[in-house]
Amino acid sequence: MIEAIRNQARLLLENGDVDVVIGYAEGSDPSRTTPIFIRKAEDVEKLIYDPRCINSLPLYLNKRHEYTRKGWKKTAIIGKGCDIRAIVQLIAENQLKRDEIYILGVPCEGVVSHPEKWDGSLHDGNRASKCIGCDVMTPHETDFFPGDKPDVDRSTPYEATSKNVATLMELELDKRFAFWRTDFDRCFKCYACREVCPHCSCNTCITDETTPSWIDPAAHKKGVFSWHLTRAMHLVGRCTGCGECTRACPMGIQVDLFNQRMKEVVQESYSYKPGYSLEDKHPLITYKVDDREDFIK
Amino acid sequence: MKTATLNKSDIGKCIDLLLQADLRVIAPRLQPQVDEDGPDALEVLTFTEVKSGEDHQVGEGLLPLNGVKEFLFAKHEPLFAYEKRGKKIEIIPVHHEYPQTVIIGVRPCDAASIASLESVFSDANAGFEDPFFTERRSRTTFITYSCTAPDSSCFCTSVELSPDSAKGSDLHLTEIGDGRLHVEVITKAGEAVAKQLQDLLEGEGDQAAREKAGAEVTEKLTRIRDSAPIMEWLMDTANFDDEMWQRLGEKCIGCGACTFVCPTCHCFDIVDENKGSKGYRVKFWDSCQFDHFTLHASGHNPRDWQYKRYRNRFNCKFKIYPEKFETPGCVGCGRCIRACPVNLDITEYMAEVAHKAANPNAMKADPDFE
């Protein structure tokens, strides 16, 4: 499979169809892989794909990450289904144009939840919970895909909410709050959760605003709660569930549980799942004349 | 130097004795998870205040995710309060508690980092002192614990340390087999703690066994880099624009994870947290990896690309620190490697610099990056 991807990447670079191929390469440790930017056709041999390829690469397509400053006119990117959902969502939000991107889709059987859980194979003990029930193992939007693309029914809402969300929702409100108070005690506001997110697109994040300062930058309870709750709210209806925020947290805080819960709310209220349509706008920035709620009329 | 032995199983009793002496005890402790067995669950080990000798993981696991830094250099603290009355602004002092503290189960890399923080926050030569830091430092005793199982990210031997180093320690423990620990009293503060624990300490230590154990663990380290040529290479200003910085650093996404988990990173910011006509002036951790860290009021930013910010971090560790303070800027704990979401690895920079220093005629700039 990776041979076909490498060959296509080589062709694209040789023909000058793309300026760069963003993919995965071996990391500095056997359990890890790392994002790589390939500019020369002879370097495509460095590209790999296996269940250690956790990173959501579309974050590099977000203009916040200097994407527009690199002078790339056309970018090829290797994407597993969940990453391609992120790309589709970026396009739907006008953060990216479809014709600027060449999507090299990969068939995916799931990825490990954390590199340290990699033991040479993928199994129920180390498969990320986002991969359970995934409906984009065969990606939905690609320019190149090695092999046949079977028809996949994606009409039912994507149900991959981690069972941790249900566990937390069953708790009494005060106990749930106590859980977050304890967990958020560890947060020192490094913003890894923000920086790995493909959808955090603001040029200046609200937490970096100083005149006025909307969110206290210090990592005390007020500063931490207001940051994480704001982050969760800003991603409602937009989060494509890659789980990178939790994976990236250096203090082991499962910050994506908020996003997963909000995903459930959006699905229940609007039957909407982000990252499947290039045109559909997410529910919080659009309206329908035939809305089932009548407050709009 | 006084030595003794201690049963590893008595560490809980040690903690209880320290608690009975009204000391605040900080120890590595596993944090509860929503789902202990789920595929996403991780072992979250952090230095936390403990209330009972049964409640600790001293000597287990490798390194707590946080270092001991936050117990000396607080994540956030008010400097003072203020209140505006008419045209006058009144400054109101804020009371700080500095409890007498023992941190137990500190690994040698973390212990070595304390001297590095001291050189920033209490520079005797420069006459500068951060009272918040020095007050805490003078009331904190470190009981260190030699490493037994370094992982693939550890590289302390590349920065002149070792898994059994007693540098920065007050009382140093090393496993010598049969569930016994070799105890070394290093400082007066360590002696005071040893006195509290005297009922549990036995006879003399076993220096030979301690050295043998240390050497065996040192053998287990796999990530070995030559840091000797780095400083000189960095001193050559021509290398400031070397192609390496951009090539290795372009994947950096600009989060502050590496700096916040780093035991020697110490940058902070100060803001006024205002509420109506009063508020607090608060000091809190900052990171040189943030894009607004060096943003000038004019809008100019001398570190305008992310790779330049990482270049600064590397220079801070291997040039600025040793040049300015003569204490290590990097202690090889490997936290930044483990924490990096995109596998940006400081030891890859170290290897690259060593390679470039050995091959001075190698390519200086890659035209592909122009």
User: Of the candidates A144, A175, A141, which has an alpha carbon nearest to the alpha carbon of residue A76?
Assistant: A144
Domain boundaries, chain A: 2-131, 163-285
In this structure, the strands spanning B88-93 and B76-85 are: antiparallel
pLDDT band at B125 (very low <50, low <70, confident <90, very high): low
Beta strands (DSSP E) in chain A are 20-26, 33-38, 75-79, 101-105
Q: How many CB pairs under 8 A join A and B?
A: 153
Chain B hits for A250, Cβ within 8 Å:
65, 257, 260-261, 335, 338-339
Q: Which residue of B has its CA nearest to A193?
A: B255
The ranges assigned to domains in chain B are 3-66+97-220, 230-369
Q: Which helix (H) or strand (E) holds B29?
A: strand B24-30
pTM for the full predicted model: 0.93
Question: CA B251: distance to chain centroid?
Answer: 24
CB contact under 8 A, B271 and A35: no
ipTM of the complex: 0.92
Give the Å distances, CA to CA, from B84 to A95, B67, B277, B281: 45, 38, 5, 13
Tens of pLDDT, residue by residue, chain A (297 residues): 899 999 999 999 999 999 999 999 999 999 999 999 999 999 999 999 999 999 999 999 998 887 666 778 899 999 999 999 999 999 999 999 999 999 999 999 999 998 888 999 999 889 998 888 888 999 999 999 998 877 777 776 566 677 888 888 999 999 999 999 999 999 999 999 999 999 999 988 999 988 888 999 999 999 999 999 999 999 999 999 999 999 999 999 999 999 999 998 988 888 888 999 998 888 888 887 787 777 665
Angstroms from B203 CA to nearest CA on chain A: 40
Say if B366 is an interface residue toward chain A (CB within 8 Å): no
- Show the CA angle centred on residue B293, arms to residues B290 and B294, nearest 5°: 130
Q: Are A279 and A88 in contact (CB under 8 A)?
A: no
Q: Which of residues 173-232 of B touch A (CB under 8 A)?
A: none
Neighbours of A281 (CB within 10 A): 15
What confidence tier does B75 reach under pLDDT thresholds 50, 70, 90?
very high
Inter-chain CB proximity B254 and A195 less than 8 Å: yes
pLDDT of residue B362: 66
- B312 in Cβ contact with B329 (< 8 Å): no
Under the banding of pLDDT at 50, 70 and 90, the label for residue B369 is: very low
Nearest chain A residue (CA) to B349: A28
Tell which of A21, A24, A32, A52 to mutate to test the B interface (max B CBs under 10 Å): A32
Per-residue pLDDT averaged across B173-190, rounded?
A: 96
The alpha carbon of residue B343 is apart from the nearest alpha carbon of chain A, in Å, by 6
Q: Return d(Cα B218, Cα B161) in angstroms, integer.
A: 10
